[in-house]
Amino acid sequence: MGEILSIALIGAGRTGTPLLQDLLKYDYIKILGVADVDTKSPGMQLAEEHKIACFTDPMALVKTVGQVDILVEVSGDLKLKEQIKNLYEQTGNRKTLIMHDLIARLLISLCSRSPQ
């Protein structure tokens, strides 16, 4: 893949951490930021190790990264997703795709399986 794909991640716990681990393996993926309320979560610590911007306020991440290619939202906060959609509508952001948490879990499941 020749194009760099920009990604931001909200939720660095049991779903976000393995996803972040997998995404960091690819040169064509640029992680612009990670947000979690728990600064000691494994995903936040991993992000810090890789010099990725970390946020405890997910909306601060969303506003800072702007029109990122993919926003992975796996925090489990249903109200947050609505806030993000409203912000994107207000700012005219038609570029960013908000990845559904079910798709994120499927992706993690596929990445963690051994080829048969």
Residue-range domains of the chain with CATH:
5-112 (3.40.50.720)
Q: Are strands 5-10 and 54-55 parallel, antiparallel or unpaired?
A: unpaired
Q: Give the tens place of pLDDT for each residue, 34-61.
A: 999 999 999 999 999 999 999 999 999 9
- Tell which residue, 65, 59, 70, has the closest CA to residue 96: 70
pTM of the model: 0.90
How crowded is residue 75: how many other Cβ atoms within 10 Å of its Cβ? 20
- How crowded is the C-beta side of 35, counted as CA atoms within 13 Å? 23
Q: How confident is the model at residue 100 (pLDDT cuts 50, 70, 90)?
A: confident
